[in-house]
Amino acid sequence: MIKLPEDKVIITVAQTGAWPLVTKTLNPNLPEQPEEIAESAYACYQEGAAICHIHARDREGRSTGTKEVFQEIHDRIRSRCNLIIQDSTGGGPNLTFEQRIECLHARPEMASLNMGSLMRVSGQYKGIPFSNLREEIEIYVTRMKEMGVKPEMEVYSHAMFREVENLIRKGLVEKPYYINLVLGMTYQGALDATPKYLNSLIDFLPEEAIFNVTAVGAAQLPLTTMGMILGGCIRVGMEDNLYYRKGELAKSNAQLVARAVRIARELNKEPATPDEARKILGLKIS
């Protein structure tokens, strides 16, 4: 595992997720439309985020994969700042295999790559898998490679390192590998968000990997703090956690980024700028 420079942390903000029930009805401050996502992204950039992980919604608030909506979000963000744009290929349960990857045509610098399948266990999609078969992962990563997009490999359990190893063995991902350890998803096959699981996932990281910590719900604060201490990058934001603290909804994504930056500074770390993050991750400098 590669640790970040001691005095740096790369902060990703994941502002809006794909889950259809997570809308403004649960937190009215959730940005859904391109203009809201871009405005909020700029506020997060000003607070210290370097990467923006993006899901798009249509005008009715449903997950969409269309290039046009992603392009509008990218253009709006890029007209204001140089945040690294990381599109989600996780899609939503309503998106097909091809729709999930259409966002690549809007030319993000990075894109998520889910490293195995999980089972949805609640709501109208209960029993519908979040499918990421080896063949599918390989198709996605090959397209990313062709288009110069760095994959953010999302790992939800130890078993998914088998898929990471497969991509490394086949030369389909480049160093430094960027691996997002995602804890606390309420899907069957995912790990709970506990310090013990985080530590044990870190033990299985390949040598040349930089890691990021994502934790869902109330675990976002303690586990991202732990991630910083252990030399990792962190992800905060309303895709993973709608609350600032118990009983208090987050006012904005920027509020969650600002708290992460305060904690980083208490730990003698500065948030990496987007260009510093590009250098660390091996992306082209903007």
Interface residues with ligand KMH (CB under 6 A)? 17, 88-90, 112, 114, 154, 182, 185, 214, 216, 239-240
Nearer to Zn ion, 47 or 152 (CB): 152
CB of 274 to Zn ion, least distance (A): 19
Which entry of Zn ion, ligand KMH, none binds 202, CB below 5 to 8 A by partner kind?
A: none
Task: Tell me the CA distances in angstroms from 247 to 25, 26, 243, one per residue in order.
Answer: 15, 12, 7
User: Whose CA is closest to 161, among 107, 225, 209, 205?
Assistant: 205
Relative orientation angle of helices 220-229 and 195-203, to the nearest 10 degrees:
40
Which entry of ligand KMH, Zn ion, none binds 63, CB below 5 to 8 A by partner kind?
A: none
CB of 61 to ligand KMH, least distance (A): 16
Nearer to ligand KMH, 95 or 209 (CB): 95
Task: Tell me the CA distances in angstroms from 261 to 23, 45, 93, 197, 233, one per residue in order.
Answer: 26, 11, 33, 24, 12
Question: Using a CB cutoff of 8 Å and minimum separation of 24, what contacts does 172-177 make?
Answer: 172/138, 172/141, 172/142, 172/145, 173/141, 174/150, 174/282, 175/208, 175/282, 176/2, 176/208, 176/209, 176/210, 176/280, 176/281, 176/282, 177/153, 177/206, 177/208, 177/209, 177/210
The total of other beta-carbon atoms located within 10 Å of residue 6's CB is 10
CB of 235 to ligand KMH, least distance (A): 8
Nearer to ligand KMH, 56 or 209 (CB): 56
Nearer to ligand KMH, 93 or 176 (CB): 93
| Token couple for 231 | 């030399």
CB of 14 to Zn ion, least distance (A): 6
Tell me the residue number closest to ligand KMH, measured at CB: 90
Nearer to Zn ion, 17 or 231 (CB): 17
CB of 31 to ligand KMH, least distance (A): 15
Which entry of Zn ion, ligand KMH, none binds 114, CB below 5 to 8 A by partner kind?
A: ligand KMH
CB of 214 to Zn ion, least distance (A): 9
Nearer to ligand KMH, 23 or 273 (CB): 23
The total of other beta-carbon atoms located within 10 Å of residue 156's CB is 25
Under rule CB under 5 A, residue 88 binds Zn ion: yes
Which residues would be at the binding site for Zn ion (CB under 5 A)? 88, 90
